Amino acid sequence: MRLVESLFVNPDVTAAEHARYADLSIVASPGTGAPELPVLRAYFSALLFGSGRPVLVVPERWTHAPLRRAVIGWRPTRQAARAIHDALPILHRAEQVDVVEVGPKGESLGDGDQPGADIAAHLARHGLNVRVVVHEQHQEAVSSALLRHCEQAHAQLLVVGGYGHSRFREWALGGTTRELLEFGNVPMFFSH
């Protein structure tokens, strides 16, 4: 644990610099509409994009429970693959891992004919008990579909790739990442 005072540098930047020497950063989520949300977003963005390390966001009212079920929000992207790799030590503790893909686009994103099958096979080779779940995306946001699945599955962890808008990623999180950060009700493991 580190305690750093910063008089001339933004505290979120300082936090990201120190997070480079840790395995994981953990931040609390203030919840929907909290006045601290802009500050949390600044810290979260700095940690996620500036540290090179994963970030675990824990809801304010979360009570510790053994990890029985984990959910992976999967898209065949670099960020999602990185998140899975970074979370493997934690995922090994889960009895069941659901790979959830919302609105798969098939071969256009390199996911093949069976969305989620390749990453599920990869995780099974690591000894994980994996189930693939594909949700068609109608008018529901990806974040809502993932959180709904977590609730229905009684998941204790959601693993996702953290996205930002290219030039402005330090300030503007991608829509799904931003919504999960604001409305998430389960511990969420983000990696970029």
The pLDDT of residue 72 is above 50: yes
Highest average pLDDT, of 33-47, 92-106, 146-160, 174-188, comes from: 146-160
Which of 39, 86, 71 is closest to 190 using CA atoms? Answer: 86
Please report, for the chain, how many H helices and E strands are present, in that order: 6, 7
The predicted model gives 107-114 an average pLDDT of 65
Residue with the bigger pLDDT between 171 and 109: it is 109
Q: What percentage of the chain exceeds 70 in pLDDT?
A: 83
Determine the pLDDT at residue 174.
60
pLDDT in tens, 125-175: 999 999 999 988 778 889 999 999 999 999 999 999 987 654 444 444 567
Give per-residue pLDDT as tens, 48-65: 999 999 999 998 888 888
- Across the chain, what does the average pLDDT equal? 85
| Long-range contacts from 174-177, C-beta under 8 angstroms, 24+ separation | 175/141, 175/143, 176/73, 176/141, 176/142, 176/143, 176/146
How high is the pLDDT of residue 170? Answer: 42
Q: How high is the pLDDT of residue 83?
A: 96
Burial class (CB in 10 A: 0-12, 13-18, 19+), 91: buried
5 pLDDT higher than 70: no
- pLDDT at position 12 is 84
Are the CB atoms for 183 and 142 separated by under 8 Å?
Answer: no
pLDDT of residue 168: 46
Average pLDDT over residues 73-77: 92
